Amino acid sequence: MIDIKNKKVIITIVVVGVLLIGGLAFLAITMYHQSQNYKEMQELAELDKQEMENEYQKFADQYNEMKTQINNDSIIEQLTQEQMKTEKLLEELKNVKASDAREIARLKKELETCRAVIRSYIFEIDSLNRLNQSLTEENTRIKDQYSEAEKRIENLNADKQTLSEKVAIAAQLEATGITMTRKNKRGGVAKRLNDWKTTQVDFTLAKNVTASNGEKTLYVVIKNTTGRTLSNGGTFTYANKELQYSIKKTIEYTGEATPITVYWNENTTYQKGTYSVSVFADGNMIGERSFSFDK
């Protein structure tokens, strides 16, 4: 039989063993949980590091995009420098371990600085773009106004030209009441072709308050039945051509109705048919009429 003393020793050994086993089990469980927590922390650190890398890359890409949105060499140079700095920090972040808390903290602080800088550039570029848009719109508005002014000037010039033409037409002299009378050698009316020695042409320069007053040279052109001008060789300019005239007369025109009488006294053989009389002044034909004689 086991004595009481030995029995106590055995119980003590069993209790110690149980406690030791329990302690080991607790330690194993604790170490397991610590291992799991460390693993989770590592994973979170890696995720945080990856998120930082993505943000650095986003900033670098954003700087590159902003350079295409502005036409300012100085600002483009600044953006390039900031882009290079961001890309350098990104490279440093890629090379650092997620467990390096000090470097991660430094790079995270740099990331905050980058974020603030890029926001300032976004605001500045947006302001410049809005200013440029405003200037472009103003430039377009001014161009439209200038174009409209040019059109108005063209219209005014056209109106002025039209008005000038109308004034010129209104100022043109007019020969009215043109008559052609056959005269015999005694100055009376010739009733037959054989008695026709002199041709008398009468007309009136109509009243015209818009016409210029002063000395006027009148040219009378008489054409016979064949269309030949009765002329002694004198010419005048009309429609950029030199025309022969029959009679030339200079008068003083006052703007009032002025009766005119001229004569063709040259030796001429007259025939039956139609004769025409045209009157010219100031480079214009101011009157015309035809006359027919059958005997």
- In this predicted structure, the answer to whether residue 35 has a pLDDT above a threshold of 70 is no
With beta carbons less than 8 A apart as the criterion, state whether 257 and 207 touch: yes
pLDDT at 179: 97
For the ranges 39-48, 124-133, 137-146, 269-278, the maximum mean pLDDT occurs at 269-278
Of the given ranges (23-37, 48-62, 105-119, 274-288), which has the lowest mean pLDDT? 23-37
The contacts of residue 192 (CB under 8 Å, 6+ apart) are: 295
Give the start-end residues of each E strand in 65-213. 175-183, 198-205
Please enumerate in sequence order all residues whose Cβ is within 8 A of that of 112, keeping only pairs 6 or more positions apart, or say none: none
- Decide if pLDDT at 36 tops 60: no
Chain segment 63-74, per-residue pLDDT in tens: 888 888 877 888
Q: CA-to-CA distance for 147 and 134, rounded, in angstroms? A: 19
**Which carries the bigger pLDDT value, residue 123 or residue 235?**
235
What pLDDT, in 10s, does the model give residues 167-222?
A: 566 678 999 999 999 999 999 999 999 999 999 999 999 999 888 899 999 999 99
Has residue 272 got a pLDDT over 80?
A: yes
Q: Do the bridges between strand 258-264 and strand 214-223 make them parallel or antiparallel, or are there none, so unpaired?
A: unpaired
Residue of 165 and 292 predicted with greater confidence: 292
Confidence of residue 277 (pLDDT cuts 50, 70, 90): very high
Q: Count the neighbouring beta carbons within 10 Å of the beta carbon of residue 207.
A: 13
Q: Per mean pLDDT, which of 26-30, 146-150, 285-289 is the most reliable?
A: 285-289
What is the rounded radius of gyration, in angstroms, for the C-alpha atoms of the chain? 58
Of 271, 158, 160, nearest to 225 by C-alpha is: 271
User: Is the pLDDT at 88 greater than 70, yes or no?
Assistant: yes
Contacting residues for 170 by C-beta, under 8 A, at least 6 apart: 208, 210
Residue 264 neighbours by CB under 8 Å, 6+ apart = 198, 199, 201, 222, 230, 246, 247
pLDDT at 131: 78
Q: Which residue has the higher pLDDT, 16 or 130?
A: 130
pLDDT for 33:
52
Question: 89 is written with which tokens?
Answer: 């920090």
Q: Which residue has 């100022």 as its token pair?
A: 171
Residue 105 has pLDDT above 60, yes or no: yes
Q: Which positions ≥6 away from 72 have C-beta within 8 Å? A: 128
Name the packing angle between helices 4-67 and 73-95 (round to 10°).
Answer: 160
Nearest-5° Cα angle at 200, 267 to 170: 125
pLDDT above 90 covers what percent of the chain?
38
User: Average pLDDT of 48-76?
Assistant: 83
pLDDT of 161 strictly over 60? yes
Distance of alpha carbon 61 from alpha carbon 83, whole angstroms: 8
219 closest CA partner among 244, 248, 190, 193: 248
- Kindly state the tokens that stand for 267: 């030796």
Q: Are 67 and 80 in contact (CB under 8 A)?
A: yes
Has residue 79 got a pLDDT over 80?
Answer: yes
Whole-prediction pTM: 0.50
Residue 164 has pLDDT above 60, yes or no: no
